[in-house]
């Protein structure tokens, strides 16, 4: 058998191993789309329009169609520029529209569907590598039944980013440094939180270097691994750095010009102060106090899950990645309603729940997932027909 045939057989075997997770994921997402279609029809709305032509999806398709430079000036003086949106998804939308009869919005929907499956497979690969196949299946299903899981089927960039992040992390865990760096660079072209993938790779590279430098003296790395590790480290930040520097040059704002663009959206990083004020504001009256208490409970749950991840000794790159995603999501100064979807790529936080679910009998775990899938489908249909993801 040739090397090419061996690799093909290996990929086929990996796909067979992931098949239960992918089939389960597809079933959950199909349920969510069905619930959305029925709910939207009852309100005389188009489910497809909700998925492809509202909020951020409109901005992405405008970038794909018209390029950068479009902006909206609001009465209060704020400037919403499409330079705030990273380019990989619009590039793929433009490519899809160029090689198929699809519109830019249609192409964005197809990209998100395919990327969500790639993300599910990547999450399975990471969880399977760390905790075993059963935990891998459970991790994917838990990611699918997140309350805002419907975003995974929207023409948004969350699914694409999660796919690139998950496979980059898997490449780090398995010592494929150049692949990890290339995928991290693409993640950095997808969303600003690509910083989390780069940070995870760098942390793993530093830890590997320290093991080599101060270990027991036994050489464990393969020939050339040090050079590949350095190359991966250098590749990782190129996507995000390249786009941010290009925006700074285009706007005349220098290296930090992208922050000015974000400021036009009243978005930035304030350490969570604005979010804390937002939550406190909900506590001043009833029934909004219930929402405030729910937000506090949600943040406490996230912190508890991260603490469990640390206690379970998750691999360092997973801890760094999940930590950075969580901090950036919670400490952004605006668009508080979007925080649940901003947290969606932080899939390592689900691994403690996945390992617990994997320990149950199959019938019980299936019942838990089925119940959660029904709740997620109903909530996603309600949410997207209401306020939805800003």
284 in the Ramachandran plot: left (φ > 0), alpha (ψ -120 to 50) or beta? alpha
Whether 195 is covered by a domain: the verdict is: yes
Whether 84 is covered by a domain: the verdict is: yes
Number of domains in the chain: 1
What integer best gives the mean pLDDT of the chain? 92
Query: pLDDT of 130-151, one tens digit each?
Result: 999 999 999 999 999 999 999 9
220 has pLDDT over 60? no
**pLDDT of amino acid 334:** 73
219 has pLDDT over 60? no
Q: Looking up tokens 């706007």, which residue turns up?
A: 251
Whether 280 is covered by a domain: the verdict is: no
Whether 354 is covered by a domain: the verdict is: no
Which tops the pLDDT comparison, 275 or 286? 275
Q: Rounded to two decimals, what is the model's pTM?
A: 0.95
The domain in which residue 201 lies consists of 20-265+361-384
Whether 95 is covered by a domain: the verdict is: yes
Cis peptide before 287 (omega within 30 of 0): yes
Q: Is 80 helix (H, G, I), strand (E, B) or coil?
A: strand
Token pair of 114, please? 């395919």
Residues 6+ apart with CB under 8 A from 159: 112, 115, 116, 119, 151, 152, 153
41 CB neighbour count, 10 Å cutoff:
11
302 has pLDDT over 80? yes
Query: pLDDT of 231-252, one tens digit each?
Result: 999 999 999 999 999 999 999 9
Whether 201 is covered by a domain: the verdict is: yes
Whether 319 is covered by a domain: the verdict is: no
216 has pLDDT over 70? no
Whether 165 is covered by a domain: the verdict is: yes
């Amino acid at each position: 058998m040739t090397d090419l045939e061996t690799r093909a057989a290996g990929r086929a075997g990996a796909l067979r191993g992931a098949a239960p997770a992918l089939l389960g994921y597809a079933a959950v997402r199909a349920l969510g789309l069905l619930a959305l279609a029925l709910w939207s029809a009852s309100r005389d709305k188009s489910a497809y329009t909700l998925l492809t032509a509202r909020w951020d999806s409109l901005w992405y398709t405008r970038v794909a169609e018209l390029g950068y430079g479009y902006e909206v000036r609001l009465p209060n003086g704020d400037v919403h520029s499409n330079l705030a949106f990273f380019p990989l998804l619009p590039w793929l939308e433009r490519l899809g529209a160029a090689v198929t009869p699809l519109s830019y919005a249609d192409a964005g929907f197809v990209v998100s569907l395919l990327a969500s499956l790639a993300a599910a497979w990547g999450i399975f690969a990471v969880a399977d590598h760390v905790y075993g196949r059963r935990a891998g299946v459970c991790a994917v299903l838990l990611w699918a039944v997140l309350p805002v899981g419907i975003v995974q089927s929207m023409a948004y960039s969350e699914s694409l980013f999660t796919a690139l992040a998950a496979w980059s992390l898997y490449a780090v865990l398995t010592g494929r440094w150049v692949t990890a760096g290339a995928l991290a660079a693409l993640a950095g072209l997808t969303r600003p939180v690509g910083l989390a993938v780069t940070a995870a790779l760098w942390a793993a590279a530093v830890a590997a270097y320290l093991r080599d430098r101060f270990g027991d003296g036994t050489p464990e790395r393969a020939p050339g691994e040090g050079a590949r590790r350095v190359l991966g480290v250098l590749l990782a930040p190129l996507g995000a750095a390249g786009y941010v520097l290009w925006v700074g040059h285009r706007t005349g704002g220098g290296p930090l010009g992208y922050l000015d663009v974000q400021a036009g959206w009243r978005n930035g990083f304030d350490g969570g102060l604005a979010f804390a004020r937002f939550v406190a504001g909900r506590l001043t009256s009833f029934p909004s106090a219930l929402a405030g208490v729910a937000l506090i409970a949600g943040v406490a749950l996230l912190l508890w899950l991260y603490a469990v991840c640390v206690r379970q000794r998750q691999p360092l790159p997973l801890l760094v990645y999940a930590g950075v995603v969580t901090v950036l999501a919670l400490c952004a100064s605006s668009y508080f309603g979007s925080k649940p979807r901003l947290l969606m790529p932080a899939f390592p936080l689900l691994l403690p729940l996945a390992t617990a679910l994997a320990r149950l009998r199959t019938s019980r775990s299936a019942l838990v997932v089925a119940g959660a899938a029904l709740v997620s489908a109903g909530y996603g249909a309600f949410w997207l027909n209401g306020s939805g993801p800003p």
